[in-house]
Amino acid sequence: MTTKEILVPDIGSFKDVEIIEILIQVGDKIAADDSIMTVESDKAAMDIPAPFAGTVTEIKRKVGDRISAGTPILMLDCSGQPAVGSRPQESASTVVKSFVPPSPTGEGVNVPLPSHPAPEVPTHIAPKHRPDPVAAHVEFVSGKLAHASPSIRRFARELGADLTRIRGSGPRGRILKADVQAWVKGELAKPTGEAIGLGFPAAPVIDFAQFGEVESLALSRIKKLSGANLHRNWVSAPHVTQFDEADITDLEDFRKSMLEEAGKRGVKLTLLAFLMKAVVNALRHYPSFNASLAADGENLVLKKYFHVGFACDTPDGLVVPVIRDVNKKDVMEIARELAELSELARERKLKIDAMQGGCFTISSLGGIGGTAFTPIINCPEVAILGLSRAEIKPVWNKVTKAFEPRQMLPLSLSYDHRVIDGADGARFTSHLRLMLSDVRRLLL
């Protein structure tokens, strides 16, 4: 066994520099010029390459130690290596790459290229290894500087990882090998939503703990699923939200007058049940709202059935049960089904088919509060109706020429502008206003 002690080669002005990373382990078989460790001065990082091939038998230094030219760093078993000793250690080529530490506010800001001294390159470096004075030490993409040692840059390059998108967990935010590996794993695990070619810049990875105490809470399965769908729907369908108000004073009087009778039949007669009927009436008048874009993007599939979904808030997140054939059911039956499906949803007993086949969705936040919101279309449906809290407001009566207190229900209709024009959006909510202002019309 021919064991050689490896000393730090002449590294120019790099004296008493700190080892920031050891890139090999005892037992590793390394080739000549493989990086052994990375050292860092206050203005540059540098990889120390192996002068010959061999097997590492001992590592004499650890991360944090300070070294200069001549410091023993490694024992290398060079048995069976033809080139052993054929190349003086002093002539080992050294790849020098400097970095510029990221500015504390550098993210997303168009940072100008820093003017800093060219790295001091040992004179014995072979020309092919001489780094470009700027390009080799700075990853400069999208105005962000990455702080990583040359070996990590090489590693990232091999994996096709963009260092500017990786947050370093090392000292002063330096990117470590583990950061690159974690980033690549994260990228591979991402849903393939990027298939629709949106080309968003990645959101910055922020360590919130640096600002104060934090706690990590896993998202529920429903939240993860609905989140991905909501995101896709929001970006793939051009949304427009039409706001309106419906006078439900008479409807509410009627509903309240029926509460006792409904109660005797075991039904909680809610406003939402009437809204379902009013929506189906409007869908009949405006068939493009009861439609989906065909996959070819060239046709509209008009539906002759009227299945209406309703957003239901559960402890695990949002689900959308669907009431089938609303046109064939009376308000009592709808109210009963609303209650049954909501209960099943909250007990996590809703079957998949109870959430399929919807033509249109109603999202009611009226029981909670708010004046208006922009609901996200439940694609492939083309419209969704949001309901906010009904309030008594002064409304001008043209006949009596006086303000009257009326109960007004805020409507927020989001629609897919690829399918529905703004004029039809306004017509649809006007139709709903008409239906809701005179409950008798729902019978027609």
Binding site for ligand CAO (CB under 6 A): 270-272, 310-313, 318, 338, 342, 363-367, 375, 387, 389-390, 409
Rounded distance between C-alpha atoms, residue 134 and residue 150, angstroms: 13
Q: Which is nearer to ligand CAO, 106 or 386 (CB)?
A: 386
Q: What is the DSSP letter of 175?
A: B
**Listing from the earlier edge strand, what are the strands of the sheet with 72-77?**
3-7, 72-77, 54-59, 29-30
Q: Which is nearer to ligand CAO, 142 or 371 (CB)?
A: 371
Least distance (Å) between residue 252 CB and ligand CAO: 9
Rounded distance between C-alpha atoms, residue 258 and residue 247, angstroms: 19
Least distance (Å) between residue 344 CB and ligand CAO: 11
417 given a catalytic annotation:
yes
Task: Determine which one of 116, 137, 417, 431 is catalytic.
Answer: 417
CA dihedral sign of residues 216, 222, 223, 229:
positive
Least distance (Å) between residue 265 CB and ligand CAO: 16
The three-state secondary structure class of 293 is strand
Least distance (Å) between residue 292 CB and ligand CAO: 20
Least distance (Å) between residue 324 CB and ligand CAO: 17
Q: Which tokens go with 164? A: 């500017």
Q: Which is nearer to ligand CAO, 286 or 373 (CB)?
A: 373
Q: Which is nearer to ligand CAO, 57 or 407 (CB)?
A: 407
**Residue 104: exposed, middle, or buried by beta-carbon count in 10 A (0-12, 13-18, 19+)?**
exposed
**Residue 405: exposed, middle, or buried by beta-carbon count in 10 A (0-12, 13-18, 19+)?**
exposed
Rounded distance between C-alpha atoms, residue 420 and residue 286, angstroms: 10
Block residue for tokens 């808030």: 313
Could you list the beta-strand ranges (E) of 324-442. Answer: 360-364, 383-387, 391-397, 402-416
| Pairing assessment for the beta strands 360-364 and 383-387 based on DSSP bridges | parallel
Ranked by CB distance to ligand CAO, the top (closest) residue is 366
Least distance (Å) between residue 318 CB and ligand CAO: 5
Rounded distance between C-alpha atoms, residue 301 and residue 135, angstroms: 55
Q: Which of 239, 190, 176, 204 is nearest to 379 (CA)?
A: 239
Secondary structure element (H or E) that encloses residue 432, with its range: helix 422-437
CB burial string 72-81: b at 16+ within 10 A, e below: ebbbbbbeeb
Alpha carbon 203 to chain centroid, angstroms:
7
Q: Which is nearer to ligand CAO, 102 or 375 (CB)?
A: 375
Least distance (Å) between residue 97 CB and ligand CAO: 49
The three-state secondary structure class of 74 is strand
Q: Which is nearer to ligand CAO, 101 or 227 (CB)?
A: 227
Q: Which is nearer to ligand CAO, 23 or 350 (CB)?
A: 350
Q: Which residues are catalytic?
A: 417
